[in-house]
Each structure stands twice: as C-alpha cells, then as structure tokens.
A and B are shown apart, each in its own frame.
Chain A
Amino acid sequence: SQELEQSPQSLIVQEGKNLTINCTSSKTLYGLYWYKQKYGEGLIFLMMLQKGGEEKSHEKITAKLDEKKQQSSLHITASQPSHAGIYLCGADLRLQGAQKLVFGQGTRLTINP
C-alpha cells in the first residue's frame, strides 16, 4: 500500500475558484514537503511543514500540517492558469538515518479559463 496517499488524483477547476489537495500518511510525519511539477520537468519546492498545527503561506498557496502530524492539506485561493501542474507531497517517514523521501502519487491540477 502507498505510504502517502494523495487526494484527489486529478482536479479540474475553473479559474478563480478555490481548491484543496490532501496528503495522508499512516505514520507520523517528521517533515512534510509540497512540490509542484510541470510535465516532464523538475520538482519546484513550495513549502515544508514540520510542526503539528503548522501553517505556511506563499502568495495564494497555503499548506497546513494537522496536530497529529499525519495529514497535510494544500489550499489554493483564487486559482490561476499558472497554478496548473502536478502537486506532490513528500515525506521522510523514518526518525533516523539518511533522508529518504517518499512521495504521494501526485494530484494533476487543470485550470480552465
């Protein structure tokens, strides 16, 4: 089974609408990363959350890590065409040792004009 579950797998929204992407882990998250990827390109770092209850914002994107540190959400306000792409959550689910990021399956976001 997948260690990180993302939902939804794909999302089509009209420009200007708000949307939320979720990332759920069966284990405690010690660091949760959100990345964005355009098709066939590298991953662009968006935000990193570490503490339970933490919330970070950058421009119109807000990410939260719940108190139990097993779920994160990414919220986009007033979506724009530039927000289109694949959103990936990533986490190191181990407490010690070299960093081994595992990723969710990704959420493919399409913005319709």
Chain B
Amino acid sequence: DTEVTQTPKHLVMGMTNKKSLKCEQHMGHRAMYWYKQKAKKPPELMFVYSYEKLSINESVPSRFSPECPNSSLLNLHLHALQPEDSALYLCASSQTVTSTDTQYFGPGTRLTVL
C-alpha cells in the first residue's frame, strides 16, 4: 500500500480566514513533504520533515505554518493568505530523506484564496 491521503480535496478561503490542510500516511515513512503547484508548473518544495522534525524550509512565508504531530500526520496551517497563494498543495512521504527513497504523493488539496 503506497497511499497518502489529503483532506480536504478543495478549499476556498478568504484572506482573513485560518484553515488547515491535513496529510496522512500509514506506510511507516519517516519523511514527509509539502509542495505547492501552480497551474501548468511543476511542484515546488515548501517543507521537509524528517522524524517529525522540520528539516527544510524553502523560505516559505510565515503565513504557512507546517506541523508534524506524529510520524503519520502532517498539517499545513494557513493564515492571512493572499490570492496568489491559490494553488494545488501536494503532500508526499518517503521512507527516509535519502535521495534514493521514492516519494509517494497524495491527491492534493486545491486551494482558492478570495
């Protein structure tokens, strides 16, 4: 089983709202990732968690706040977003952060900021 689940599938929020994206995997993976994908562009890495600790933050604005409460869960808390933050947000997981460990992706959350 290589399933990564993400909720919600779609999210519409105003610029003053606070919302959260959720990602879950039960493959025993210890590395989890958040990516942002704009229309007709490839995914871009936002955050990497390794053993529940933040390993990489790709200079993401503080209005995006990641959280890894346990080895199976990854959240992305959203606050005071801008319309340009509208995108597909993808979660992925891999066995570890080693370059040769395959990342498996979830179906994504389509976020629209009004």
Question: Number of B residues whose C-beta is below 8 Å from A?
Answer: 29
Question: Number of A residues whose C-beta is below 8 Å from B?
Answer: 25
Contact yes or no, A106 B42, CB < 8 A: yes
The contact of A100 among B41, B48, B102, B106, by CB within 8 Å, is B48
Q: Which of B13-21, B67-75, B77-85, B91-99 contacts A (4 or more CB under 8 A)?
A: B91-99
CA distance A26 to B92 in the complex (A): 26
- Bitwise, A24-46 to B at CB < 8 A (1) or not (0) is 00000011010100001111110
Contact yes or no, B102 A48, CB < 8 A: yes
Contact yes or no, B45 A101, CB < 8 A: yes
Contact yes or no, A42 B106, CB < 8 A: yes
A contact residues around B55 at 8 Å (CB)? 98
> Interface of A with B (CB < 8 Å)?
30-31, 33, 35, 40-45, 48, 50, 88, 90, 92, 94, 98-106
> Interface of B with A (CB < 8 Å)?
2, 4, 6, 31, 41-43, 45, 48, 50, 55-56, 88, 90, 92, 94, 97-108, 110
Q: Could you write out 25 A-B pairs with CB less than 8 Å apart?
A: A31-B99, A31-B100, A35-B105, A40-B88, A40-B108, A42-B6, A43-B105, A45-B104, A48-B100, A48-B102, A50-B100, A88-B43, A94-B99, A98-B31, A98-B48, A99-B31, A99-B48, A99-B94, A99-B97, A99-B98, A99-B99, A99-B101, A100-B45, A100-B48, A105-B42
